[in-house]
Amino acid sequence: MNKNRLGSSDLYVSEIGFGTMSLPRDEKLALSIIDEAYERGINFFDTADLYDQGRIETVLGKALKGKRDAVIIATKGGNHWEAGKPGWYWDPSKAYIKKACKDSLKRLGTDYIDLYQLHGGTIDDPIDETIEAFEELKQEGYIRYYGISSIRPNVIREYIKRSSIVSVMMQYSILDRRPEEAMLDLLYENNISVIARGPVAKGILSDHGLAKIPEAGYLDYSKGDLEILIRNLKEQTNPERTLSQTAILYSLAHPAVATAIPGTSRMAQLETNIAAIEAPPLSQKELKTIKNLSHANRYEQHR
């Protein structure tokens, strides 16, 4: 599998990454899916301390034991929670970020995290304090690099100006083209990579997507809009690909994007995700067609 450099770092991540949020509860099955992903060439595994209150980090650590030098582990912090207690709150303070990182290290069973990410962020945060936490963790050897997970343009701009982030994780798909408005080009110009999450848009952009459309629609698409769009995408893109594979390739098309992390809860999903990069590439004509069929969403908040 092709690997792309993550921003200005020396991390080279597989084009298809592995997102752990939707891993099955059955630990044996979860471990087997992660192992298969590794065997098929995926080296980038993304998780977060919030996922099932740390349980997913523990599962990922077990799965990658003995493979540590060959994989890139990314996790996230900033949502303050306590084991055994319901709920959480946002806490980007230096003290909490540093504590959360060390707790993640224990659950993952590793001495360092390759990419540590702020799991959100607002313009009202103590941004300099948060950056200081990441820089200290880096200097102390607990993390190699850091990034943020955010779709807020105003927050992203501040981190570009004030920090040494190497990546921004953001939702990006045919149905959510908001990053195209202002962020993708800016990040590319600053040598900061995008980690594209949700490229299949909760399964809506799949061959069974018509059955997965919520009654309320998705973002600024109505249910009816989505039904028409899915049919048109299937009719006007290469039939040698599944719709989900076309969607994944779309999210990888911009040069700012280093890796796409579609959800993986079943072995069959993993197969489909990996097959995307083995499928015929998107032509420039198809890219233009997809952009004409869909629409360029706009950020209406946090501008």
Q: Which of 145, 140, 210, 175 is nearest to 7 (CA)?
A: 145
Q: Which of 236, 234, 161 is nearest to 192 (CA)?
A: 161
Positive/negative CA dihedral, 92, 98, 103, 108: positive
Positive/negative CA dihedral, 269, 270, 275, 276: positive
- Tell me which DSSP letter residue 16 carries: B
51 is catalytic: yes
Q: Which of 150, 251, 152, 240 is nearest to 200 (CA)?
A: 251
Contact 10, 37 (CB under 8 A): no
Contact 44, 3 (CB under 8 A): no
Helix (H) or strand (E) holding 89: strand 89-90
Active-site annotation holder among 38, 51, 116, 218: 51
Contact 53, 85 (CB under 8 A): no
Contact 79, 91 (CB under 8 A): yes
DSSP string covering 126-172: -HHHHHHHHHHHHHTTSEEEEEEE---HHHHHHHHHHS---EEEEE-
**Which residues are annotated as catalytic?**
51
